[in-house]
Structure 1
Amino acid sequence: MGASAPFQTCPPPEDVEGRCIEVRAGQPTEMHEVQLSPGLMTTFVFDSDVHPEGMILEDSGRFEVAELGKRTLALMPTDSPRSEQPGALKVCFADSAAPACVSFRLLMHPVMAERQVRLLRHPRSADSLEAELRESHEENARLHAELTRLNAGRDSPLGLAGMLVSGVVDERGMSCSPSDIVQPLGAMLSAVELSTCRTATRVNVRVRVRNNSETPWIAQGAKLVGPKGEAWRGSVWPEEPVPPSKSVDLFIEARVEDVRMEGPFVLKLWEANGSRTVRLGRVAFPVLGAGTAF
């Protein structure tokens, strides 16, 4: 059983006589078209040993097999192409590597034929393919289990229906309104735009901030403080640094449990180490059901 030549590749078409085909393990099965003509011999040359009984020639009575060697096959049609129906040839290799076989669609032409077809095979061992298949199955099983876990933990639908079922949004919808900026966040940050939104159980502040410092600034947490000292922790998105001299929209969301949002409120933002905490005062929220509803 001869060895394959996995590092060989087909040269440019202008540098090779006849036809050159490359096949690789893991590629979709393909029928490679080869043109034959009655009375003209077409020679197939393989870079791996062919199995002695590994050739399947469909409608073999139409062809003469002049030579079948360990790595060569010479084939010639014996009849005129009365039918446009192509023939088929399948050749399997002697080793156990993949791809195990290669298939050809034999097209007939009255006078023109490809005189030589060279096939280069890039094999992989069966053990390697099986290991990759096992890894794929394990990854699919892990993802399926994760999806099942997430679906099991979700007791409401997604989208707008899910927000209605969970009570995040009720029939009053969501109200949003722009707010006037009456003071900067601080020397290191300035606020360019501000808008607030609220639903039955959530409030959201969108503030476009500009980083006036020479180092990136990233908010780790946020808090809304009311006029009577009531406070709600909020999450900040995106969790990415605001680069120096750049502006970024920050979205701060807090759960308020349908309380009356009478302000004004103070918005506090702080970094991971707490050294650069900033404040924005007089943040107000629209009355639910008023303003621009979405």
Structure 2
Amino acid sequence: MIASPSTALVTWVLLTTPAVEQPALGTCSMGIQHLEVPPVPREKLALVCISPGQTTVINFDADLAMDSMTLDGAERFTKVEFGASTVKLIPSEKLRPGDHLRLTVRFKDTAAPSSVTLLLGVHVAQAVPFVSVLRETRTVESYQQELKTKNEELQKCIEENTRLQVESTGPGGLAELFMLGLLSDDGISSKLLHKNFVEAPTNALSATGLVSYRAANRAALMLMLANKAGMAPWTAESATLTREGKNGMGLRVLTVWQPRPIENSAEDSILVVEVKAPDDLQGSYTLKLWEAGGARTVTLHGVTFPAP
């Protein structure tokens, strides 16, 4: 079991561990995904990332013919809504990471192309929330939206690069916390959750304890994880932390760190997740971790943080 939380522990976690950049999403788009459909369909289908429990809305720039949709494995979706020009999808846990499904719709008018087929790729935790499908030409508004999204992503990269440069040349210890603006007048607060969270029944590892920490503009979770007997060592590849409830907000994950792979031994192992914290951290969050390939996951519901 874990010891009582302390400021010394979180200082060591946040400052002595390297900041690991989250892995690239490859072909997955995490903002608004724009797809342009040419008059002659391409051989390679456009990929749209979906994930169990997360909503993806696909909007077409023309009305769809009634009852024209075909979807592979439609019975494995929690919800499939076919509208005048939209398709709303919520995959269920019956879909496995790595699955690929075809979605085909026909347009109501006579313009080319008369139909479009998209390839839905199942990711363990990441999904495109909104897809805009345009035929032949794109509007000025769509270019402006894409430019805005790219500028926001570029600004995040610049901020992250600046942070890494400062942390690599900083004085270390509490002085660096002050320099980075991570210490408020209240210092660093912590909250021992013990078992005040809910583990998903499909978890590959069990969580024996959890402590949440909060600083000026950062938050962190320290987990104690135990691997199951006879299972291979487990190393987290990435994580998401999402506020529970309707339209849950995902926090920006900065670091997923563990000192070594988690073996199938009696000894529990530490894993730390650090996130960019908004001013409002109220409510409960869901933490999801996965190893490379997403075969074995760990999901915790009801995670909370100390009050400011």
TM interval, short-chain normalised: 0.3 to 0.5
Q: Normalised by the size of structure 1, how large is the TM-score?
A: 0.43
Q: Normalised by the size of structure 2, how large is the TM-score?
A: 0.41
The structure with the larger Rg is: 1
